[in-house]
Structure 1
Amino acid sequence: MATAEEDVFYSATASANESTDTEGDGPEPRKRLRPLSCLEPGVKISLALIVLNQPLQHQYPHLIQLWNRGVIRAATDGASNHLHEIMMNKSNSNFVPDLLTGDFDSAKPEVLQFMKEKGAKLVETLDQNFTDFTKCLQIVDRTIEHNKLHVDCLVALGAFGGRFDHMMSIINTLFDITKTVKYPVYLIGDDNIACLLRPGNYAIEVDTGLEEGWCSLIPIGGKCKHITTTGLKYNLENQGMQFGALISTSNYLKDDAKEVTVTTDSPVLWAMGIKRLKLKEK
């Protein structure tokens, strides 16, 4: 599989890779997440990457780092246009995905032909009851299972920005797919990262040096009756959240926080900022 030739420079300290489950203080196991391990320098991580249909020029440092760590790389329909544009503008780059999926109503015919000739497998998905992202994620998950690939997490790049209804459909996909996949699914775009926390106990590691500082917990799927947190500037203590009342937006990580703990009885969306990254000068 192709590897982008440029490296990414971070002014951050390397630390451990994303871990899986571990025991917390309570009777239930606490799931330990390290969302920014996918971009963290100096760690060994294997991820599945899905590139969505958003401009990629301002996300180029993220794209390089994620692409180089991908054991399987996929793109949805119109995302092929953006990958092709980068390859035409940067002669030393190779961003041909392993899988290119969708109904292909957005991809340019000449781009599809180019990607096919370069080795991408085109998978046409015509079912209009699911979004391109949902269908691509399902295909990637089946490919991971079929080929017995080791994947620490799946990252969807280009998840934010553009049409509001598209962003909401992407978040809705999290509610569906995270019921079955065996790895964390993270959404990245416009210097944001987000993931869905299903009911349970979590420890979210926030000491990679890439965290911007702000964070949010949003009861996007319905009312959350009880949620408790530590590690935040404005912690929640067995409180409820719902739209039309309290939601925890514009919160912040404590200055000395290495992790944030969350105990919730309902699905909530965790989101936080990513520091702007710079390409290493050559």
Structure 2
Amino acid sequence: MQRYAPLNCISSFSRNEKLAVLLLNKAINDDSSDQVFKKLWHEAKLRACVDGGANFLFDIQQKCNNGIRYDKPNLICGDFDSIRPEVKDYFSSFNDIEMIQTPNQDATDFTKCVKLIGEKLSSDLGIDHIVALSGIQNRFDHTMANISTLYTTPSLLPSGTRLSVMYDCSYLTLLHKGKTVLDVSTGQEGDWCGLIPVGHPAIVTATGLKWNLKNFKLEFGKMISTSNMLDGSGVVSVETDYPIIWTMSYKI
């Protein structure tokens, strides 16, 4: 059984977790996603930019007029088709930033970055939670690619290391086969949540929701659990016979 708080990373208890943060393609919005970035980037033990994610870090630093200097990334990787030339030149000037080009077109830059970090975690970095930040949701194909990367987690990361994606107002992660207990009492939880089977039906029992499930078959084309809500108990229990996406809204 797994037990954790999905939004612990942005709560006042986040220092209990050792975080790695990945910046995916995003734009400066002055919204909740930027606030999440500022909090998590500062606290992360490992920081990485996935190709064009480096543009965001460069731009937010240039925009900053209050003297704040954001920590440099440890790693920038990807096929480098999205990072702007001046941004690549800037970060390449630092000897302590790894610039790793990964031209393989059979995997997304996100997947390749997770694989690289998985290899680094084998060197006892001790990361509990990898959070990928993206404020861009206007590309459905990218969203589906991110979900596909979540499904690769078991083969890319050491056992016990979680991977999640955070958009402007939503969080998603993969719940593995078996039972998972989620602490949803951090105070950062929003109004909605959902359990989404992708690529395969799942038999799910879930409690702690406004609409609980009992040995219920979730399947695209039939019934999936979207627009659900937490019941206020502070705990959600999910048991599934196949990996399933857990998604929820968050607030800052």
What TM-score comes out, normalization by structure 2 length?
0.93
User: 2:177 matched to which residue of 1?
Assistant: 199
Partners of 2:27 and 2:136 within 8 A in 1: no
Q: CA deviation at 1:41?
A: 1.1
Q: 2:152 aligns to what SS in structure 1?
A: helix
Match of 1:85 among 48, 53, 59: 59
**Rounded Cα–Cα distance in structure 1 between residues aligned with 2:57 and 2:122:** 26
Match of 1:231 among 208, 211, 214: 208
Q: CA deviation at 1:198?
A: 1.7
Q: CA deviation at 1:120?
A: 2.0
User: 2:8 matched to which residue of 1?
Assistant: 37
User: 1:71 matched to which residue of 2?
Assistant: 45
Percent identical residues: 35
Q: CA deviation at 1:43?
A: 4.0
User: 1:20 matched to which residue of 2?
Assistant: none
Q: CA deviation at 1:266?
A: 1.2
**Rounded Cα–Cα distance in structure 1 between residues aligned with 2:219 and 2:189:** 26
Question: Is 2:22 aligned against 1:50?
Answer: yes
Partners of 1:74 and 1:99 within 8 A in 2: yes
Q: 1:178 aligns to what SS in structure 2?
A: helix
User: Structure 2: which amino acid aligns with 1:77?
Assistant: D
Partners of 1:178 and 1:185 within 8 A in 2: no
**Rounded Cα–Cα distance in structure 2 between residues aligned with 1:32 and 1:150:** 18
Q: CA deviation at 1:159?
A: 6.7
Q: CA deviation at 1:141?
A: 1.4
Partners of 2:7 and 2:186 within 8 A in 1: yes
What TM-score comes out, normalization by structure 1 length?
0.83
User: 1:123 matched to which residue of 2?
Assistant: 100
Match of 2:77 among 101, 105, 108: 101
Equivalent residue pairs, number: 244
**Rounded Cα–Cα distance in structure 2 between residues aligned with 1:36 and 1:227:** 22
User: Structure 1: which amino acid aligns with 2:141?
Assistant: D
Q: CA deviation at 1:231?
A: 0.4
Question: Is 2:135 aligned against 1:162?
Answer: no
**Rounded Cα–Cα distance in structure 2 between residues aligned with 1:252 and 1:244:** 22
**Rounded Cα–Cα distance in structure 2 between residues aligned with 1:180 and 1:67:** 22
Q: Cα RMSD between the aligned structures?
A: 1.4
